[in-house]
Amino acid sequence: MDTSSPSAFVNGAFMRRYIGQKVRTVVQVIGSDVGSVVGKSTDDVQIVVRGSPPTPLTTYLEVIGIAESEKTIRAETLTNFGNSFDPANFNELCKLANGEFKHLFI
Amino acid sequence: MYGGEFDGNAAFAGGGFMPSQATTQAPDSSNFKNREVRTLLPLTLKQLNSVSTNGESNFSIDGVDINTVAIVGRVTRMENRITQVDFVVDDGTGWVDCVRWCHERQETEEMEAVKLGMYVRLHGHLKSFQGKRSLNVFSIRPVVDFNEIVHHFIECMYVHKYNTKTRGGPIAQAAATPIPQMPYSTMSTPAKPYQTAPSNQFPNQFNDQMHSMMQTVLNYLNQPRHLASEGGVHYDVISRDLRIPPLQVKDALEMLSNDGCVYSTKDENCFKSTADA
């Protein structure tokens, strides 16, 4: 059992707190290219994800990787999260996981 | 499904009365400890890492004994050894070694559905051997609706908050849960929707105000000194202490009494919370 390399739940707003660190987020895919995906975070911030997405892409994509800047993630793992994911729920989770309940996560 | 998994069991830890045990020296507590307490707790791996232990196999967290834990994470390593499968699950807060013994066909089939890189929900027992912690998994299935991941973490937060708040006194409302929660600390099983529908469905215009007043009065009565007092508290005293007009206090108490949250003691003007029952 090990908790030394956690990934923080982030939305667009929380990205800046974890630059250089491992983060996880879910974005709504706006467009994809070879080697990158452009998505909208659950709080409507445009995020660029560098990495090769799975094909075919579903509406929502989970990204786990290193936050390179406030708006870019270098992805280690990309997972299709389907078309019926609830972004509002995830957004609230991010707020709680970075706030009152941070000690349960990081 | 919700009833089976819900941590209401864990929160109450085997009886309907555990939440108040920490606040009073109830002689009943010994009865409950003698019974075998089974809990199912949804936890993050970070929480699992920080459980306290007294002895090799007695774990507890937030004051609740741990029997079974529910984890949702992704399988990052897997080794199939025919009669057992060793794998590692990572939920973003940490990772843990897991073992799934497969002696029967149903168990093998269950494990075959699990592939590397997949998100899974598993239930298992926490084991510790020579300081190393691992999970002995007896139930595992792939996650198909990814809202389940979000839900699991929210549930972890809720259970944590519930378990830690009941220790201190007033029961606080759950944070962000998508399911409508009972607002008070009643003993009804959490799986069923709140029983007394009429009193719970306040007309909209009264909802927030009356609801929060009832919660305030209930929180007041849930304070340790009032829980311990035999005779309860007269509503005038509540009114004076909370600075709420006595008639409103009386109304709130009546509604709380209808909901089973308080009861009258010496006469119909003195009330006590049922949380200590």
Tens-digit pLDDT profile for residues B127-141: 888 878 899 999 999
Q: Which residues contact B168 (CB under 8 A, 6 or more apart)?
A: none
pLDDT at B167: 62
On whether the CB atoms of residues B144 and B119 are closer than 8 A, the answer is: no
Contact A24 B132 (CB under 8 A): no
Chain A residues with CB-CB distance to B120 below 8 A: none
| CATH number of the domain that residue A14 is part of | 2.40.50.140
Are B56 and B137 found together in one domain?
A: yes
B137 located within any domain: yes
DSSP letters, B203-229, are: -HHHHHHHHHHHHHHHHHHTSHHHHH-
Chain B nearest CA to A11, separation (Å)? 13
| CATH number of the domain that residue B265 is part of | 1.10.10.10
Average confidence (pLDDT) over B145-167: 91
On whether the CB atoms of residues B42 and B152 are closer than 8 A, the answer is: yes
Look at chain B and report how many structural domains it folds into. 2
Give this complex's ipTM.
0.94
Chain B residues with CB-CB distance to A3 below 8 A: 45-46, 49, 93-95
Look at chain A and report how many structural domains it folds into. 1
Q: Which domain holds residue B62?
A: 40-144
Checking DSSP bridges between strand A60-69 and strand A46-50, what pairing results, if any? Answer: unpaired
| Tokens linked to B107 | 């168990």
Question: Please, which residues bridge with residue A2 across strands?
Answer: B95
Chain A nearest CA to B237, separation (Å)? 34
Residue of chain A whose Cα is closest to the Cα of B177? A89
Tens-digit pLDDT profile for residues B54-82: 666 678 888 888 889 999 999 999 999 88
- Residue keyed to tokens 């070879």: A34
On whether the CB atoms of residues B78 and B122 are closer than 8 A, the answer is: no
Contact A93 B145 (CB under 8 A): no
Q: Is the pTM of this model over 0.90?
A: no
Residue of chain A whose Cα is closest to the Cα of B96? A1
B192 located within any domain: no
Contact A96 B93 (CB under 8 A): no
Looking at per-residue pLDDT, the higher value among B53 and B190 belongs to B53
Contact B151 A89 (CB under 8 A): yes
**Among the listed residues A13, A61, A7, A9, the one whose alpha carbon sits nearest the alpha carbon of residue A38:** A61
B32 located within any domain: no
pLDDT at B271: 86
Contact A105 B119 (CB under 8 A): no
